[in-house]
Amino acid sequence: MARTIRIASAQYPIDELTSMAAFDAKLARWVEQAVVKGAQLLVFPEYASMELARIAGRHISRDLHASIEVMQYCIADYEAKYASLAKRHGVHILAGSAPTRLADGSVVNRARLFTPHGETGSQQKQILTRSEVEDWGIDAGSGLCVFDIGLAKIGIAICYDSEFPLIVRAMCDAGAEVILVPSCTDTAYGYYRVRNACAARALENQVYVVQSCTVGAADWSAAVDQNAGAAGFFAPSDPLFSSPSGVLEEGQMNAAQWVFATLDLDLLAEVRKDGDVFNTRDWDKQPGAAELPPAKVVTFR
């Protein structure tokens, strides 16, 4: 029997929620919709958490730094909801990332993964956009991980990180078969930068790449006021796959929806072993190809 994993990738709308109960109901509804369609891993986008700032009032959500600060009081409840739903439905969930203050006082952009068995793992964004540095005051994270969830080995490259080949390469060298790219882009230009990066990372590493995104306008938010994009699933361009373009599935631009795909991991291994080209094994033949810092492998039961 082929090794497969069915993934749901969210085109997640930023809604004006005025209570934690409203958020709980929204998230429960979204998770249930994906579970009904057979999803085993659900992917939510970068900074999806920021809609919670509205709960503190518009005077908070319209102030970027106040929004980031109030999030520090919401994160525990926010992540607990994802953990509870992962257990209840027996699925893995990558929660929408959140600006998270660490013990040393730095604030990183962190995405947390929840398993059906109550285990958690997290990935911090490595390279920040100029807006995150100049406006948000977010700090660069450290450390790369690959999570062995039993169904597949996955890496997480948060939005802009996907645009830097060595980050994803380190994950693939550590065994990643699927790279999750939670993103938040406010224009079509930003969306296509990330989308094109996803396609490139899939090609050069012969790996599956899954993009999730925020969608919709939220004039009450200083953090996520404009959101544009579409979720997508990308694979190497190889005759063993059905799509010559390498795009396996893609959502309708800017629509609130789930996008689904069932990824065949045995087929991916066959492409790496006997495909038309050997991008993965030929990586080190590039002039200047350097040794990469290893990604840490985290194994869940």
Helix (H, G, I), strand (E, B) or coil at 144: coil
Low-confidence residues in the chain, pLDDT < 50 = none
Phi/psi of residue 62, nearest 5 degrees: -85, 0
Cβ neighbours for 21, distance < 8 A, ≥ 6 positions apart: none
Q: What is the longest distance spanned by two Cα atoms in the chain?
A: 58
Q: Is residue 42 left, alpha or beta, with left meaning phi > 0 and alpha meaning psi from -120 to 50?
A: beta
Q: For each of the domains in the chain, give its residue range(s) and CATH number, in order of start.
A: 7-299 (3.60.110.10)
Convert the pLDDT of each residue in 159-171 to its tens digit.
999 999 999 999 9
Question: Residue 123 half-sphere exposure, CB side, CA atoms within 13 Å?
Answer: 31
pLDDT at residue 16, as a whole number = 95
Contact 176, 206 (CB under 8 A): no
**Residue from 163, 182, 166 nearest 122 by CA:** 182
Encoding tokens for residue 240? 């063993």
pTM of the model: 0.96
From CA 254, how far away is CA 252, in angstroms rounded? 6
pLDDT at residue 221, as a whole number = 96
pLDDT at residue 2, as a whole number = 81
pLDDT at residue 65, as a whole number = 97
Encoding tokens for residue 42? 């659900």
